[in-house]
């Protein structure tokens, strides 16, 4: 990706987490997280279960606002240079520009077309040609267009698991977000479907900045440019993927990667 | 050959058998009773309900005239005198039985109108309330208290609702009028007219609103459950795509809760149609010789324009809801408890009960059909 390499250099990190603490009510979940998500790069979050990967991810589009008592208690998150907790930030605009794909593929029980068009519709787009174009573009980018172009009016739940997850990706990129957050997008899929999504992620990085949570080390190695290792709510190490996996600076990272983790 | 799996008839096994039989007998008893009641009513009511005019005529007094030859003639008040005259000295005796002649068109229409009003009101208020409780309200003590209050409301005896309706809708509800009645509790002048708290009188509107409150707890509780049954993932995904809360509810929650809400609504209809006490003081009459839209409006002058005709139609339509009506359950109550019993009143009574039963059964059937149909459309 030589051309994106040069353009990425000109961009400041698209997401900047600045020394952030996060808690669910009285229970602290994240401590002093400091992390930059580079423009048009794939950043992987790894770590043992319960270490706060999903929590961190959901902070970036403020999905945690839905959880009663959950709040950022220190620090800040900047997306495209803007503090997302500022009073003049409109949540719907933030989420339009920071898309999210969930662990369980969860298309709406509507047609394929309506699923992809959902994000645009809620933002008031009514024009048929705009919608048609967006649907085609999103499905193409999600590597689904050729498979589905004749069945756009079919029910989305009739698709296979892997197709459903790619449909969810298409739905998330239909609003052309800058950042795409993915929480274990392959954990419910078989190896072939997983491979397809991984290929897709590599391609998506041309147009989007991707943050992906994964339990699969190999996957992190295959898809990501940077990897962050979290443990007990702390960011232990954050480095280019190759460096982190071949030559980890922290002992904790090393033992986690070797699987000799207590 | 010896059987390695032979039972040893222990206490545990005997208890299992006893439990199975107890449960089975319980269910059979219920089924048996239900079927017997249904058959009994059909047997007693079907012959009368299928008499010509029973579904299409208004209720009237039944005249039973006996002639010397032992012939017994049943007729309405209009033909009774002519019949007696025709019999001349053949005439022996005449009995009149109130409310037992003619048909039950009046009660059927009345019940339909009451159900229409009550379900519209209850559905609107109930769904709003359920959406608020399920989607907007903060979880906590207050919400639990509200839920508890709603559940308690479901346990209030229906006669209490009737009295509440009498006080609230018949006697105090506000109307817009140029000439407030003396009984108005207070009047707020609005300049061009007055808002007078003088009540709506006994009418379809008062009864419908009262019934709405009877079924409201059922509708709120059921609707809330239906909303809660819609996967949280739909809401998360929708919000993550930048939808507002209302857009999320409107596009991704409500459509999938609708089948369930409608089902509970139809059961609510059955309940509203069957209640007697709430309409006793608020809407129902034992007897009425006109349908609600058969009202004498002043005749229009010959040169009245389109607008005058149109205005009168609207007036006639609105007038339907400000009339008191007969209603099926109240009609049955009248026949059973307010007039002396004899074979004729009994026939009319069973006929009405049978018709009512069929109406309720078909509502239940509709609800099942609707559920199956919509589930297919909005399955997840
Ligand atoms: N809604 C919530 N309310 C309270 N605590 C929560 C909530 N969600 C998560 N937590 C807690 O926050 C911590 C981090 O959870 P999180 O879901 O972010 O972990 P994770 O790294 O994504 O784990 P996994 O790999 O199993 O998905 C855990 O201890 C969890 O119990
Ligand atoms: Mg997680």
Domain ranges (residues) in chain B: 61-97, 105-288+324-349
Cβ of A52 closer than 6 Å to ligand 1, yes or no, is yes
Determine, for residues A122 and B138 on separate chains, whether the beta-carbon distance falls below 8 Å. no
The pLDDT score that the predictor gives to residue A9 is: 52
- How far is it, in rounded angstroms, from Cα A105 to Cα A159? 11
Q: Phi and psi for A228 in degrees, rounded to 5?
A: -115, 130
Cβ of A58 closer than 6 Å to ligand 1, yes or no, is no
The pLDDT score that the predictor gives to residue A2 is: 44
* Pick from B236, B242, B380: CB nearest A92: B242
Share in percent of chain A as helix, strand, coil (round to 5):
40, 25, 35
What is the band of B186 on the pLDDT scale with cuts at 50, 70, 90?
A: confident
- How far is it, in rounded angstroms, from Cα A157 to Cα A218? 30
Q: Which ligand has its closest atom nearest to the C-alpha of A27?
A: 1
Instruction: Please determine, for residue A8, whether its predicted confidence score (pLDDT) is greater than 80.
Output: no
- How far is it, in rounded angstroms, from Cα A84 to Cα A65? 12
Q: Which atom of ligand 1 is nearest to the CA of A57?
A: 18
The pLDDT score that the predictor gives to residue A3 is: 46
Interface check for A104 against chain B (CB to CB < 8 A): the answer is yes
Determine, for residues A175 and B378 on separate chains, whether the beta-carbon distance falls below 8 Å. no
Average pLDDT, chain A: 90
Q: How many CB pairs under 8 A join A and B?
A: 65
Structure tokens at B184: 């108005």
C-alpha A142 – ligand 1 centre gap (Å): 29
> Do B218 and B271 form a contact (C-beta atoms < 8 A)?
yes
Give the pairing type, strands A70-79 and A15-24. Answer: antiparallel
Share in percent of chain B as helix, strand, coil (round to 5):
65, 10, 25
Helix (H) or strand (E) holding B344: helix B343-377
> Do A227 and A37 form a contact (C-beta atoms < 8 A)?
no
The pLDDT score that the predictor gives to residue B380 is: 66
Helix (H) or strand (E) holding A231: strand A226-231
Handedness of CA A179, A205, B238, A31 (dihedral sign): negative
Residue of chain B whose alpha carbon sits nearest to that of A117: B241
Residue of chain B whose alpha carbon sits nearest to that of A171: B241
Give the pairing type, strands A226-231 and A42-46. Answer: parallel
As a CATH number, domain B105-288+324-349 is 1.10.3720.10
Residues of A in contact with B236 (CB under 8 A): 63, 66, 102
> Do B147 and B133 form a contact (C-beta atoms < 8 A)?
yes
Separation of CA A83 from chain center? 19
Q: Whose CA is nearest to atom 3 of ligand 1?
A: A24
pLDDT digits (tens, 9 = 90+) for A41-92: 999 999 999 999 999 999 999 999 888 889 999 999 999 999 999 999 999 9
Determine, for residues B242 and A104 on separate chains, whether the beta-carbon distance falls below 8 Å. no
C-alpha B301 – ligand 1 centre gap (Å): 78
| Overall average pLDDT of the B290-318 stretch | 81
Place of tokens 């899929």: A189
Residue of chain A whose alpha carbon sits nearest to that of B236: A63
B371 or A99, higher pLDDT? A99
What is the gyration radius of the CA atoms in chain A, in angstroms?
18
What is the band of B213 on the pLDDT scale with cuts at 50, 70, 90?
A: very high
Among the residue ranges A1-5, A17-21, A170-174, B232-236, the one predicted with the least confidence is A1-5
Q: Phi and psi for B102 in degrees, rounded to 5?
A: 65, -145
- How far is it, in rounded angstroms, from Cα A135 to Cα A132? 5
- How far is it, in rounded angstroms, from Cα B354 to Cα B350? 6
The distance of B263 to chain A (nearest Cα, Å) reads 20
Structure tokens at B206: 């008062």
* Pick from A68, A109, A168: CB nearest B378: A109
Nearest to A197 by CA among A162, A164, A232: A162
Residues of B in contact with A175 (CB under 8 A): 241-242
Average pLDDT, chain B: 88
What is the band of A262 on the pLDDT scale with cuts at 50, 70, 90?
A: low
Q: Phi and psi for A74 in degrees, rounded to 5?
A: -155, 155
Confidence (pTM): 0.84
Nearest to A37 by CA among A182, A197, A254, A191: A182
> Inter-axis angle of helices B204-229 and B254-274, to 10 degrees?
140
Instruction: Please determine, for residue A190, whether its predicted confidence score (pLDDT) is greater than 60.
Output: yes
| Overall average pLDDT of the B59-72 stretch | 85
* Cα dihedral value B231, B235, B238, B243, nearest 10: 160
Instruction: Please determine, for residue B325, whether its predicted confidence score (pLDDT) is greater than 80.
Output: yes
Residue of chain B whose alpha carbon sits nearest to that of A66: B236
Cβ of A64 closer than 6 Å to ligand 1, yes or no, is no
DSSP three-state, residue B203:
coil
- How far is it, in rounded angstroms, from Cα A76 to Cα A85? 7
B288 or A31, higher pLDDT? A31
Instruction: Please determine, for residue B296, whether its predicted confidence score (pLDDT) is greater than 80.
Output: no
What is the band of A188 on the pLDDT scale with cuts at 50, 70, 90?
A: confident
- How far is it, in rounded angstroms, from Cα A171 to Cα B242? 12
pLDDT digits (tens, 9 = 90+) for B118-155: 999 999 999 999 999 999 988 889 999 998 999 898 88
The interface pTM score, or ipTM, of the predicted complex is 0.89
B194 or A213, higher pLDDT? A213
pLDDT digits (tens, 9 = 90+) for B158-185: 999 999 999 999 998 888 888 888 888 8
Helix (H) or strand (E) holding B248: helix B245-248
Question: What are the distances in angstroms from CA A118 to CA A20, A145, A149, B168, B234?
Answer: 32, 17, 17, 45, 12
Q: Which atom of ligand 1 is nearest to the CA of A67?
A: 1
Instruction: Please determine, for residue B211, whether its predicted confidence score (pLDDT) is greater than 90.
Output: yes
Determine, for residues B378 and A118 on separate chains, whether the beta-carbon distance falls below 8 Å. no
- How far is it, in rounded angstroms, from Cα B170 to Cα B280? 12
Interface check for A95 against chain B (CB to CB < 8 A): the answer is yes
The pLDDT score that the predictor gives to residue A1 is: 41
Among the residue ranges A55-59, B7-11, B256-260, B366-370, the one predicted with the least confidence is B7-11
Q: Which ligand has its closest atom nearest to the C-alpha of A49?
A: 1
Interface test with A, best of B240, B247, B252 (most A CBs within 10 A): B240
Q: Phi and psi for A190 in degrees, rounded to 5?
A: -80, 165
Residues of A in contact with B139 (CB under 8 A): 68
């Amino acid at each position: 990706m030589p051309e994106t390499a040069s353009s990425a250099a000109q961009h400041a990190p698209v997401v900047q987490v600045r020394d952030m603490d996060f808690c669910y009510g009285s229970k602290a979940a994240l401590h002093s997280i400091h992390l930059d998500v580079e423009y048009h790069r794939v950043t992987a979050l790894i770590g043992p279960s319960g270490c706060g990967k999903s929590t961190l991810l959901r902070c970036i589009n403020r999905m945690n606002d839905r959880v009663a008592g959950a709040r950022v208690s220190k620090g800040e998150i900047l997306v495209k240079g803007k503090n997302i907790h500022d009073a003049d930030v409109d949540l719907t605009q933030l989420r339009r520009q920071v898309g999210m794909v969930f662990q369980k593929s969860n298309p709406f029980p509507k047609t394929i077309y309506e699923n992809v068009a959902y994000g645009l519709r809620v933002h008031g787009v009514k024009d048929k040609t705009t919608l048609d174009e967006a649907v085609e573009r999103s499905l193409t980018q999600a590597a689904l267009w050729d498979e589905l172009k004749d069945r756009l009016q079919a029910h989305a739940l009739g698709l296979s698991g892997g197709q459903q997850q790619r449909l969810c990706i298409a739905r998330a990129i239909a609003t052309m977000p800058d950042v795409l957050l993915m929480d274990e997008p392959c954990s419910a899929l078989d190896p072939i479907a997983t491979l397809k999504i991984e290929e897709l992620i590599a391609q998506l990085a041309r147009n989007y900045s991707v943050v992906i949570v994964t339990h699969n080390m190999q996957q992190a190695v295959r898809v990501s440019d940077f990897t962050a290792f979290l443990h007990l709510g702390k960011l232990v190490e954050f480095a280019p993927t190759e460096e982190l996996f071949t030559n980890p600076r922290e002992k904790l990272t090393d033992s986690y990667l070797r699987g000799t983790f207590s | 050959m010896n059987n390695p799996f032979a039972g040893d008839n222990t206490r545990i096994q005997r208890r299992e058998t006893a439990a199975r039989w107890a449960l089975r007998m319980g269910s059979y008893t219920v089924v048996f009773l239900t079927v017997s009641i249904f058959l009994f009513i059909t047997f007693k009511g079907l012959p009368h309900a299928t008499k010509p005019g029973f579904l299409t005529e208004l209720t009237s007094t039944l005249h039973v005239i006996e002639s010397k030859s032992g012939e017994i003639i049943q007729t309405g008040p209009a033909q009774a005198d002519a019949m007696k005259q025709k019999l001349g000295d053949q005439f022996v005796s005449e009995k009149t039985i109130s409310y037992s002649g003619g048909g039950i068109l009046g009660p059927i229409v009345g019940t339909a109108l009451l159900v229409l009003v009550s379900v519209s009101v209850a559905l609107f208020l109930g769904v709003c309330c359920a959406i608020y409780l399920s989607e907007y309200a903060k979880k906590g003590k207050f919400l639990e208290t509200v839920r508890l209050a709603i559940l308690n409301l479901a346990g209030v005896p229906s006669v209490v609702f009737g009295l509440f309706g009498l006080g609230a809708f018949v006697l105090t509800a506000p109307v817009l009028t140029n000439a407030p009645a003396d009984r108005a509790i207070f009047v707020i002048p609005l300049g061009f007219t007055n808002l007078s708290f003088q009540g709506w009188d006994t009418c379809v509107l008062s009864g419908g609103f009262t019934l709405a409150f009877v079924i409201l707890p059922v509708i709120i509780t059921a609707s809330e459950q239906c909303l809660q049954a819609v996967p949280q993932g739909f809401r998360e995904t929708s919000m993550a795509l930048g939808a507002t809360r209302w857009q999320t509810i409107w596009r991704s929650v409500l459509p999938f809760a609708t089948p369930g809400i409608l089902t509970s609504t139809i059961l609510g209809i059955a309940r509203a149609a069957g209640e007697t006490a709430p309409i006793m003081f608020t809407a129902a009459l034992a007897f009425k010789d006109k349908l609600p839209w058969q009202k004498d409006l002043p005749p229009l002058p010959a040169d009245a324009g389109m607008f005058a005709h149109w205005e009168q139609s609207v007036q006639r339509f609105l007038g339907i809801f400000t009339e008191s009506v007969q209603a099926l359950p109240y009609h049955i109550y009248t026949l059973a408890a307010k007039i002396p019993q004899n074979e004729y009143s009994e026939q009319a009574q069973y006929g009405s009960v049978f018709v009512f039963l069929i109406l309720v059964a078909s509502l239940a059937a509709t609800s099942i059909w609707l559920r199956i149909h919509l589930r297919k459309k909005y399955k997840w």
